[in-house]
Amino acid sequence: MDFNLDETQAELRALTADVLGRMATHARIEAHEESGLPYDSALWAAMAQAGLLGACLPEEAGGAGLGPVGMAVILREVGAHVAPVPALSSLVAALTIGRYGTAEQRAALAPLVEGAAVLAVALREPGADLSDPPATIARDGRITGHKSMVSHAAAASRILVPAQVEGSGVGLFLVDPGAVTVHDMPLATGEPGAVISMDGVPGEPVGAADGRAYETLRSHALAGITATASGVLAGALKLTTDYIRTRRQFDRALAEFQAVTMQIADVYIAARAIDVAVWSGVWRLAEGLPAEEDLAIAAYTASDSVVRALYTCQHLHGGMGLDVTYPLHRYFAWGKHAAHLLGGAEAQLDLIGALV
């Protein structure tokens, strides 16, 4: 199987890396963290101006039609630069709305494409795995239930909420954040997270309540989370490789010690493994082929091998790996958060077992 990006996708990656490389610097991210703002609005606007926020959306929604692969390309670079922007939730929600939404709902994505809006996704529920059907109920167009780990809920223009529809299946609904109760729950990444509570909140349906839109949202979320985790590990690998090349002990660079080279090789193998699983999964998703097994393998790798590889990166940095003024801690936090979103390695093994 050829895992190389085509010309358009490679250009998208280069453009994303250029925009983020110029703006998502260590000093800028540090300044943003101290600002207390929910995300870097200038970087978000720069991504919009470069056409990145609409790249994966259908053309009728104002996008370039690059689909799940385009989303994965962008989110991998966001992860590699640990860029403080709400790209994961916004692109996952927008891609799903672009496929199943009405003409009016797709047209309403224009502010996101222009960088003037943010979307949130409420997939996780307290005490439930990502693969569990929602306990949230939709009755007569009104939503009741609780959702956890919702990033940028307060800043979002709309929250995409899955809910069980009485007498039917699982449907998706767009909910106004102003109508829900938001309980702040800061995330490991430093992003503003929340547990949201809904008690008869009006919801605008997205697609039919037959479960197809919901399963597509879950697939998009798995693709987005694992692509971000892939980028996070790639960024941590580069940072660590540069460090062991220049850090000297006993008059030798760390990279000259065999034990160090063996450990960094393990990190490289983990990075290649998740890349293969992610690109296989998003390609199958884009082609309309069954992608559940590939995405489940990517999710397991993100929850297990990637996290262990990030521990290795910290170990190879020694005391520097624990210094919060050094950028490695952001990669570790982002990697752990991806594993938490997915529900951990054991949950992914259970899902793989159910699939096979």
308-332: pLDDT as tens digits: 999 999 999 998 888 888 999 999 9
CA distances from 25 to 61, 74, 248, 314, 332 (A): 31, 17, 25, 20, 17
DSSP-assigned states of every residue in 125-187 = -TT--TTSPP--EEETTEEEEEEEEEETTTT-SEEEEEEEETTS-EEEEEE-GGGSEEEE---
Whats the size of the chain, residue-wise?
Answer: 356
210-227: pLDDT as tens digits: 999 999 999 999 999 999
Mean residue pLDDT of the chain comes to 93
Q: Which two tokens stand for residue 59?
A: 């053309």
> Has residue 1 got a pLDDT over 70?
no
66-112: pLDDT as tens digits: 999 999 999 999 999 999 999 999 999 999 999 999 999 999 999 99
Strands of 186-283, DSSP E: 193-202, 204-206, 248-249, 252-253
Q: Which CATH number fits domain 120-206: 2.40.110.10, 3.40.190.10, 2.40.50.140, 3.40.50.300?
A: 2.40.110.10
Enumerate the CATH 1.20.140.10 domain ranges in the chain, comma separated: 212-355
Give the rounded percent of residues in the chain with a pLDDT score beyond 70.
99
Which pTM value belongs to this model? 0.95
* pLDDT in the model for residue 92: 98
* pLDDT in the model for residue 321: 83
Strands 142-151 and 137-139: what pairing? antiparallel
* pLDDT in the model for residue 286: 94
Enumerate the CATH 2.40.110.10 domain ranges in the chain, comma separated: 120-206
- The H-or-E segment that residue 120 falls in is strand 119-121
Q: Are 307 and 271 in contact (CB under 8 A)?
A: no
114-137: pLDDT as tens digits: 999 999 999 999 988 888 889 999
Spatial distance between the Cα atoms of 150 and 316, rounded to a whole number of angstroms: 33
More reliable by pLDDT, 46 or 256 = 46
Enumerate the CATH 1.10.540.10 domain ranges in the chain, comma separated: 7-117
Fold for 212-355, please state it.
Answer: Butyryl-CoA Dehydrogenase, subunit A; domain 3 (1.20.140)
Q: Which two tokens stand for residue 161?
A: 């909420």
Q: For residue 166, what pLDDT band results from cuts at 50, 70 and 90?
A: confident
CA distances from 110 to 57, 213, 325 (A): 10, 21, 38
Q: Would you put residue 211 in left (φ > 0), alpha (ψ -120 to 50) or beta?
A: left
Spatial distance between the Cα atoms of 32 and 39, rounded to a whole number of angstroms: 7
Task: Give the pLDDT mean for 180-199.
Answer: 92
Fold for 7-117, please state it.
Answer: Butyryl-Coa Dehydrogenase, subunit A; domain 1 (1.10.540)
